[in-house]
Structure 1
Amino acid sequence: MERLNQVDQIVDEVVKRIQAQQLSFEVEASGRHIHLSRAAVDALFGEGYQLTKVKDLSQPGQFVCKERITLVGPKGMFKNVVILGPERSASQVEVSMTDSRELGVKVPIRESGHIEGTPGVILINGERSLKLDKGLIVAKRHIHMTPEDAKKNHVVNGEIVKVKVSAARSLIFDDVVVRVSPKFATYMHIDYDEANACGLEKGTRGMIVK
């Protein structure tokens, strides 16, 4: 009987581990980058210019472009900042809190696309430049999630959750927004400040805790 109980305990533990793996998701670090509108591409590269795709990202349809831009703030600048495609309806520049201090701009934490009332920044490409009047944000940490995975995790679009990240300096991130869409692949995105805080490495996984 004792041996049967031990077997049951082992089976229960294996089942729990499998379930946890199914509910967990990969965590990715997102460095400073730019999303450009059609008008911004025209201004910085010439009318009708098409950005050059070089690598797909984890989110379907999103990609890294070959072109690079310089960001200029009141106190500093960043060269060779990556552009992500495809084009958007409005330009958006995403930096970390550390980056914002180097630029000399107080940058708010916002969800992607929520740029009303945000500061602008100057973009430079060679002799061409463009001054954005808004669009500079620190991206709110978030999880892109498929509807199927949202159902498994018992969460809905826009819900705020806590996520335990199992890494070299494992920690629990609070105030993480869940974004659900059939167009997404399930990944959590944090910036490099947050990635360094938890010792993120490739393949690191997180899990919602309530």
Structure 2
Amino acid sequence: MNRCHFDDGKVDIPIAVSARHCHLSEKDFHCLFGDDCKLEKWKDLSQPGEFASHQLITIQGPKGKIESVRVLGPFRKETQIEISQTDSIKLGVTPQIRLSGQLDDSSPITLIGPKGVLHKEKGLIIAQAHIHMSPDDAKQFQVYDGDIVRVEVNTSRPIQFLNVVVRVSENYVLEMHIDTDEANAAAFTPNIKGKLLKLV
């Protein structure tokens, strides 16, 4: 439900660019990297408990491949690969725009690691723009988990992002995630923030 009744301009939302990456199940990780390999943390990400690992894979589509795709941790129940629309053209695939974890009828993709090759019948998506927030943040914004909002970004190329999904959890830190195509369209620069607007 869409209940955005707060005053415009009260709070700015930090925005982060989510480059192509993959989340692997533990089984698929060992298929790609070997039974003795461990998922090695490279650096922490903004959301608590999430991290970028040292491990990289290649993703292969019908028309091309993309190397050095970062594996994020911790392990997921299901393998999920997130790319941009531009990436999909290079690969020759047609993934749908989905929220993380919504993998039913998602696109197939081939994963290539140093120790194995794995074809997944599903798991490839373009991530829908979304905002992570805590219950306290949601109360301040007067929104609920699953609400659809719009966010205005005032850069040298001002833009409004529509159909932005609110995701609420005790484990989340306030931050909006967009992909590289969306960032380029907005002439994104570091430390840019967005204004959450009332729906019309």
TM-score, structure 2 as length reference = 0.93
Secondary structure class of the residue paired with 2:31:
helix
Percent of pairs identical after alignment?
Answer: 44
The alpha carbon displacement at 1:127 in A equals: 4.7
User: Which residue matches 2:123?
Assistant: 135
Compare the two structures and name the one with the higher helix fraction.
Answer: 1
Which residue does the alignment assign to 1:43?
31
Contact kept? 1:36, 1:91, Cα under 8 Å? yes
Partner-residue secondary structure (3-state), 2:100 = coil
Letter in 2 for 1:69: I
How far apart are 1:168 and its partner, in Å?
2.3
SS of 1:167's equivalent?
A: coil
- Indicate conservation of the 8 Å contact 1:150/1:180, yes or no: yes
C-alpha contact 2:25 2:75 (8 A) present in aligned 1: yes
Counterpart for residue 160 of structure 1: 148
Query: Does residue 91 of the first structure (1) align with residue 79 of the second (2)?
Result: yes
CA-to-aligned-CA distance 1:60-89 (integer Å, 9 cap, x gap)? 110010010000000010001111100000
What is the identity, as a one-letter code, of the residue corresponding to 2:80?
A: Q
SS in structure 2 of the partner of residue 134 of structure 1: strand
| Aligned-partner Cα distance in 1 for 2:103–2:36 | 25
Letter in 1 for 2:55: E
Instruction: Provide structure 2 residue ranges, at least 5 long, that are not aligned to the other structure.
Output: 1-6
The 2-side partners of 1:35 and 1:83 are apart by 6
Q: Does 1:180 align with 2:168?
A: yes
Distance 2:155 2:49 in 1: 28
Q: How many pairs align?
A: 192
Q: Deviations over 1:171-190 (max 9, x none)?
A: 11110000000100000000
Q: Judge conservation of contact 2:31–2:115 (CA < 8 Å) in 1.
A: no
Corresponding residue to 2:138 among 150, 164, 167: 150
Instruction: Please identify, of 117-126 and 88-97, the stretch whose mean Cα deviation from structure 2 is larger.
Output: 117-126
Pairwise CA distance, 1:46 = 1.4
Q: Which moved more, 1:136-145 or 1:43-52?
A: 43-52
4+ runs deviating over 6 angstroms: none
| Alignment counterpart, residue 12 of structure 2, candidates 3, 24, 33 | 24
**Which structure is larger by alpha-carbon Rg, 1 or 2?**
1
Preserved contact between residue 13 and residue 196 of structure 2 (Cα < 8 Å):
no
Tell me the SS of whatever aligns to 2:108.
Answer: coil
> Matched residues in 2 for 1:90 and 1:123: separation?
14
- Alignment match, 2:67: 79
- The answer to which structure, 1 or 2, has the higher relative contact order (CA under 8 A, 6+ apart) is 2
Give how far 1:42 is off. 1.3
Asked if the contact 1:23/1:149 (under 8 Å) is kept, the reply is no
Q: What's the Cα RMSD here?
A: 1.4
- Secondary structure of the structure 2 residue equivalent to 1:88: coil
2:110 aligned with 1:122: yes
TM-score between both structures, scaled by the size of structure 1: 0.88
Amino acid at match of 1:204: I
